[in-house]
Amino acid sequence: MKKNLIENFYFYFKNKEFFEVESVGIISKHDKSIRFTNSTTSVMKPLLLDKNGINKKYFLIQPSMGTQGLIYRMKNNYIGKYSSYFVSLGCLYPICMINEVFLDCIDFLRKNGFNRCDYEFEVYSKDKDFIKICNLLNISYYINTVDSKPFRHKYGLETIFGRNIQVKNKFNEYELACITIIEEKNNGIAIELSIDSTQIIAANKRLSHSIFSLDVCSSPTNENEYVGKHYKNILTLIDSCNIVAVLMSEGLKPVSRGRSGILKNFLKEAIFHSIELKISKESLILYIFKLREKRIEEILFLKSYLKYILDEHEFYKNINYWLNKIN
């Protein structure tokens, strides 16, 4: 489904005359405030700084990663709710098009298997404009009473922040989409619609964790076989192997510091949990190689991203070398 979801997103917004923004590498060279590309907004940030403002509609499909899950696992032995690798699907609208953003979000979800009865919008009580729109468009919503303060997005820009309303699946609370009003000094300058592909697929397939949406094998990485003792092992293995596959595909090597040090930690995780699951080194290499193929297949039409990818032979040589060296 993932490939279909990504292509559906592409053609849905392309046909609505959105302008396509070129994707970049996960290893962030376009934004010095981050080590890895973690969202579509980090790529579209220059549009927010345009003195003429956002007066067109843009969309972007961006391979992305976050390190929060790795931090949780290293510090607390805790599996977070998100996968470390994901394909971020995002749109940027002029600030005057708030109603259209909500309607596009609802329509896109409908065309990808989610009816209005399947989800609710989560809003903070202080965000009166979001509540007003939900009432106007007859959208089901609830007030977040758990968090004492509304979450605010930071973009690495001194005066620009974002406040959001999330679309959560009723069955398992996966976050299907997020609508964010981006403001500069409390004045709206743009609206973002963002979608995490792994969350959508996990909700659609009713998976116990979004990481399972990244797997390529029914065995040995079968969710139903590891609901007990090995559940954390298999989740961590899938998650870490995906990051190893995509970062080493972009030429990063797992040495000691910075971005490379983060990759090294993911590779160590992959090795440790493969041993725990009695997976041989040869099978681990093959699994990472299959993940690489799958991740590239999903975004094969993104020519702007594929230029960052090493060829197959170079990747295989590198992964074999580093697995032997670190092991």
Residue 11 has pLDDT above 90, yes or no: yes
| Mean pLDDT for all residues in the chain | 89
Between 32 and 207, the higher pLDDT residue: 207
Q: CB–CB of 91/108 below 8 Å?
A: no
Q: What is the DSSP letter of 39?
A: S
pLDDT at 247 over 50: yes
Higher per-residue pLDDT: 175 or 32: 175
What values do phi and psi take at 55, rounded to 5? Answer: -120, 10
Q: At what angle do helices 231-249 and 281-298 cross, to 10 degrees?
A: 60
CA distance 198 to 189: 29
Element (H, E) at 21: none
Classify strands 141-143 and 119-123 as parallel, antiparallel or unpaired.
parallel
Q: 84 and 70 in contact (C-beta within 8 Å)?
A: yes
Of the candidate ranges 36-45, 57-66, 141-150, 173-182, the one whose mean pLDDT is the lowest: 141-150
Supply 51's token pair: 């003195």
Q: What is the CA radius of gyration of the chain?
A: 20
Specify the pairing of strand 19-20 against strand 85-93.
unpaired
Greater pLDDT, 45 or 30: 45
Each residue of 149-163: pLDDT tens digit?
767 777 777 788 999
pLDDT higher than 90, residue 222:
no
Q: What is the pLDDT of residue 77?
A: 78
pLDDT for position 219: 42
Q: 173-220: per-residue pLDDT in tens? A: 899 999 999 998 889 999 999 998 999 999 998 888 999 999 886 444
Query: Bridge-partner residues for 61, per DSSP?
Result: 89
What are 84-104's pLDDT values in tens digits? 999 999 999 999 999 999 999
pLDDT at 229: 63
Is-contact 216 238, C-beta < 8 A? Answer: no
pLDDT in tens, 295-314: 999 888 888 888 899 888 89
Beta strands in the chain (DSSP E): 19-20, 58-65, 85-93, 119-123, 141-143, 152-154, 160-169, 175-184, 187-196
Comparing 226 with 59, the larger pLDDT belongs to 59
Band the pLDDT of 288: cuts 50, 70, 90. very high
